[in-house]
Amino acid sequence: MKKYTTTIVCLLTYILNAQVNLVEVNENSKSGNYKDILTSFYQLAVKDFSGEEKSIGFNSTLFALKSKANPNLLKDVNYIEATFSRNFQFNFKIDLNKDLKYTGFTGGISYALINNRNETLANFRGTPLEAKYNDLSEFLGTVQATIGNQIALDATISDKKKEFELLQNAVDEILDYKSDLTSSKNPYVNKILKAIDPQIASKGYGETITNSSGLMAHLNELTQAYYKELQSKGLLTIATDGTSNESGKFNKASFSITYLKGNKEAWNEIDLRAKLIYADTLVTDHLPRTELNTKIGSNFKFGNDYKKQSYLEIKAVAEYNKIFNNVLSDEDDEVITANAEIRLRIADDLWIPLVIKYDIEKANFLGFLNVTYNFEGF
């Protein structure tokens, strides 16, 4: 126990104390369900908090650790080459009993064979977004140069640097998009708007896009729609892990496959999972057995504003468990349950997933309270 704890504490200390300014990835549009399968950076999870067998786990991608040590990996030219490490996740967890005594250690890896959801690799070339952005960029560029030239030639302006800063701030303000730019205190905002709004109106984009505010609102809507659509793409992962008991003896291994695919608006996704488990469950006798666990579910997100994380997710799941050999006398070799997995977000990236299972044959309810915390660095 001591050596595992020391290892985990050392690793966490290294991660948390690293002074590298890690680029934050916009995680907001991802579902908690998705983050449980493939985290972008780090995830701490407490599983079955109220049950007999608890665990405290840590997930991270290989890329998260490598980029801590070498921030150059975050450069686009290196980032695109790091497919393997971005899709390779490792995890470990400490298993505890109801009295919080150590009962074992689990270590595992997973790899995303199909991962079309990565927003950081989004490509909007050839879309209406690019065409409209190009227009805006051209209008703005021309006006920036014209006004910049006036500033440069204006002998009455003594502090040119400050004036260019003011002009740049005006451009930033317009591109940041605020619903009412006309109330801006920056005089260059109105000057730019007067120059580009007629050009935007003449483009004939539509009734709602007759000025820069309308165009920026439209560009933001398009951007959000494209990112949202990405979250509906397929994600296929395979994973394997091994578990040892409190004396360090290997007693369990599993191989699993998971597939997620959302609808276009990304408020719902199909969730398919299968897990083959080999376990030596008894302490007194050697009694190895093989089990299959399959789940078919549908996850619903609530509060689906792209810029905000969902506050609630509910997954309806049909679960089938089959024990192939060495079935104990007081258990069934086949169990079918209807599950509801409820994820409640109580703070940014802090989720409390509650799993409720209903044994269809025995009419029993079971509940499992979990806590997951996704984080990107400190």
Partner 1 sequence: MVNISVTVFGGLPPLPIKVIIDNLDNNHDIKFSRNNSFSEDYILPPGRYMIIISGMNPSGGKTEMHVHGDFSEGPLPTDEKTTEKTYYSQLFYGVISN
Q: Of these, 188, 227, 351, 368, which contacts partner 1 (CB under 8 A)?
A: 227
Q: Of these, 79, 90, 102, 278, which contacts partner 1 (CB under 8 A)?
A: 79
Q: Of these, 48, 119, 135, 349, which contacts partner 1 (CB under 8 A)?
A: 119
Q: Of these, 9, 16, 20, 122, which contacts partner 1 (CB under 8 A)?
A: 122
Angle (CA) 320 326 330, round 5°: 70
* Residue 162 interacts with partner 1 (CB under 8 A): yes or no: yes
Taking the C-alpha atoms of residue 182 and residue 187, their distance in angstroms, rounded to an integer, is 10
* Residue 320 interacts with partner 1 (CB under 8 A): yes or no: no
Q: Of these, 5, 13, 20, 24, which contacts partner 1 (CB under 8 A)?
A: 24
Taking the C-alpha atoms of residue 61 and residue 80, their distance in angstroms, rounded to an integer, is 15
Map residues 194-223 to x or -, x wherever contact with partner 1 holds by CB under 8 A: -------------------------xx--x
Residue labelled with tokens 């801590």: 68
Please provide the DSSP assignment of 142-186 as one string: HHHHHHHHHHHH-TT-S-HHHHHHHHHHHHHHHHH--S-GGG-S-
CA 57 from centre of chain: 17
Structure token pair of residue 82: 């790091």
Q: Of these, 20, 69, 157, 175, which contacts partner 1 (CB under 8 A)?
A: 175
Q: Of these, 51, 148, 234, 377, which contacts partner 1 (CB under 8 A)?
A: 148
* Residue 52 interacts with partner 1 (CB under 8 A): yes or no: no
Q: Which residues pair with 89 in a beta bridge?
A: 61, 110
* Residue 140 interacts with partner 1 (CB under 8 A): yes or no: yes
* Residue 76 interacts with partner 1 (CB under 8 A): yes or no: yes
CA-nearest of 114, 64, 73 to 236 is 114
Give the alpha-carbon dihedral of 190, 194, 196, 199, to 10 degrees: 160
* Residue 137 interacts with partner 1 (CB under 8 A): yes or no: yes
* Residue 123 interacts with partner 1 (CB under 8 A): yes or no: yes
* Residue 77 interacts with partner 1 (CB under 8 A): yes or no: yes
Taking the C-alpha atoms of residue 250 and residue 276, their distance in angstroms, rounded to an integer, is 16
* Residue 157 interacts with partner 1 (CB under 8 A): yes or no: no
Span of 19-27, 181-189, 263-271, 314-322 interacting with partner 1 by CB under 8 A:
19-27
Q: Of these, 10, 20, 113, 145, which contacts partner 1 (CB under 8 A)?
A: 145
- Cβ atoms of residues 109 and 238 within 8 Å: no
Residue labelled with tokens 């009734």: 207
* Residue 229 interacts with partner 1 (CB under 8 A): yes or no: no
Shortest CB 166 distance to partner 1, Å: 9
- Cβ atoms of residues 209 and 126 within 8 Å: no
Q: Of these, 5, 120, 263, 290, which contacts partner 1 (CB under 8 A)?
A: 120
Q: Which residues pair with 47 in a beta bridge?
A: 55
Measured in residues, the chain has a length of 378
Given the complex with partner 1, which of 84 and 324 has the nearer CB atom?
84
CA-nearest of 192, 150, 197 to 168 is 192
* Residue 341 interacts with partner 1 (CB under 8 A): yes or no: no
Shortest CB 130 distance to partner 1, Å: 6
Give the alpha-carbon dihedral of 6, 8, 14, 17, to 10 degrees: -100
CA-nearest of 207, 223, 208 to 175 is 223
Span of 90-98, 123-131, 237-245, 356-364 interacting with partner 1 by CB under 8 A:
123-131
* Residue 308 interacts with partner 1 (CB under 8 A): yes or no: no
CA-nearest of 54, 4, 60 to 247 is 4
Q: Of these, 165, 305, 334, 361, which contacts partner 1 (CB under 8 A)?
A: 165
Residues that bind partner 1 (CB under 8 A): 23-27, 74-77, 79-80, 118-125, 129-130, 133, 137, 140-141, 144-145, 148-149, 151-152, 160-162, 164-165, 167-168, 171-172, 175-176, 219-220, 223, 227
